[in-house]
Structure 1
């Protein structure tokens, strides 16, 4: 190693990363036409067969408000079926390595996830979300931050009892499309609070593309100084200003090892071009290769 070695300049930068696929949920969420259930099943199967082990399947919120997810139970039933498990076995895939996640913004959706778990088709992991900026949070959840934190505490307890992991999302880290500038220190405190109340891991999200590479590096450096366990942190960037690739590189340089992506950048959640590569290593881990 020389003084010019990349990993000497950025000693926290990983040599391997984990990619979670969110195509079926975030990628299809804003499609004007309903994506057929059979097409979703095909995508889900092929993603898993290609090597993905962390899959965001659907949203368990109201199908009236989000008709794209009216087939949530059918998708989960398919992925929990003996037929699909046998397919995995034939391809040498350990089914127990697969983690299925559902979005559950409100407690009612969490209750639905638990009911599905009791039926044998529920998710392994669910996700709730707080925004550090109050107006954005209210617009997204329909409730205030103090009330939502109480809801999260109740929901995490229910999930723990049901054997479901909770991912806590922190949004508006780098700014809010409604309230404007935000303080990254607030997001660090929100991250700590999620973990204190029992969240399994944290999704650090830039849902509207507000982030810049310098601020991404600064934020994730702050996070890993406070909470150095990289398994707890997931980066989630949306491509709206053609700068998400720079933000991803900055997150890598800061030491983040877990990222979320959609196939082909569907849903403006483009995360590098790694999802176009067949993932050949187990448990969704791939070696970082420079994009030629």
Structure 2
């Protein structure tokens, strides 16, 4: 069984840094990741640059990304406005994101969960030729509301499934959900929506993300998000920790005999480059 890793350092990683990396620096990071064998990259977020200035320049970035036949780039959008910007910029895969918890939805999207999902549904219906992927923030724990009931998570995943979205990533936005908690919620939504492919987007507050990966792989999950260098966090989720580091995820999977197609030595070089690019932007 092979695992597909989507590196999100260009989006989730950079959005929580105190500096703004120029587009040219982001292109260098993408080139290094591709050279290391990363074939799925979340490259940008089409959000209001006044709220997340680190993501400014997304329209300029997309056409400058390395053009490889076997590399897929995705971008993130929180609402119909972001989806329209992404479509106009030529994005081929758009990750539409909603929160499972009302507190984070209000902080992140500026509206309650139902209103946020309604807006996304409108955008998806308007763009039938675009490949959409679902993403659910605070799928397990919310900084404002505490533990998220599996039923609340299912309500949002079902809305995405009703839009025709068949791949959904569940995010442990704070990085504090236990492996057992993730496993329970994951089993709950998978049982309810057997035709939907689920993946995990893990942050790593207590060093337990790899234990969650282990349980998920044993359960048949084959898609994971991670960020080279372990960078990242959510500006609108107090206490959010960095992402599971791609290099740690790759090393762990390789040790288990699970192929990823990523070269560990080249990936280490990409991490060093990211550190250098961030230092130069400071």
In the TM superposition, what are the counterparts of 1:244-263 in structure 2 within 5 Å?
Answer: 244-263=209-228
Instruction: Determine the structure 1 residue equivalent to 2:17.
Output: 31
**Contact 2:141–2:173 (8 Å) recurs in 1:** no
Is residue 249 of structure 2 the alignment partner of residue 274 of structure 1? yes
**Matched residues in 1 for 2:51 and 2:222: separation?**
34
Instruction: Determine the structure 2 residue equivalent to 1:7.
Output: none
In the TM superposition, what are the counterparts of 1:1-292 in structure 2 within 5 Å?
Answer: 15-79=1-65, 84-85=66-67, 88=68, 95=69, 97-116=70-89, 122-160=90-128, 163-229=129-195, 232-267=197-232, 268-271=242-245, 273-275=248-250, 285-286=260-261
**Contact 1:262–1:275 (8 Å) recurs in 2:** no
TM-score (norm 1): 0.78
**Contact 1:259–1:271 (8 Å) recurs in 2:** no
**Matched residues in 1 for 2:229 and 2:216: separation?**
21
Cα RMSD of the aligned pairs, angstroms, is 2.4
Unaligned runs of 5+ residues in structure 1 are 1-14, 89-94, 117-121, 288-292
Q: Which deviates the most, 127-136 or 55-64?
A: 127-136
Superposed CA offset, 1:189-225 (max 9, x none): 3212211112242111110123101112222222333
**Contact 1:263–1:275 (8 Å) recurs in 2:** no
Task: Give 3-state SS (helix, strand or coil) of 2:148's partner.
Answer: coil
Task: Give 3-state SS (helix, strand or coil) of 2:141's partner.
Answer: coil
Task: Give 3-state SS (helix, strand or coil) of 1:101's partner.
Answer: strand
**Matched residues in 2 for 1:45 and 1:145: separation?**
36
How far 1:276 sits from its partner (Å)?
6.6
Superposed CA offset, 1:91-150 (max 9, x none): xxxx1x32211111121111111222xxxxx21111222222212211110012222222
Unaligned runs of 5+ residues in structure 2 are 233-241, 263-282
**Matched residues in 1 for 2:49 and 2:55: separation?**
6
**Matched residues in 1 for 2:249 and 2:122: separation?**
37
**Matched residues in 2 for 1:155 and 1:128: separation?**
9
**Matched residues in 2 for 1:65 and 1:75: separation?**
19
How far 1:64 sits from its partner (Å)?
2.1
**Matched residues in 2 for 1:215 and 1:98: separation?**
33
How far 1:182 sits from its partner (Å)?
2.1
Superposed CA offset, 1:20-66 (max 9, x none): 11111111111111223222111111212322221111111122222
**Matched residues in 2 for 1:19 and 1:53: separation?**
8
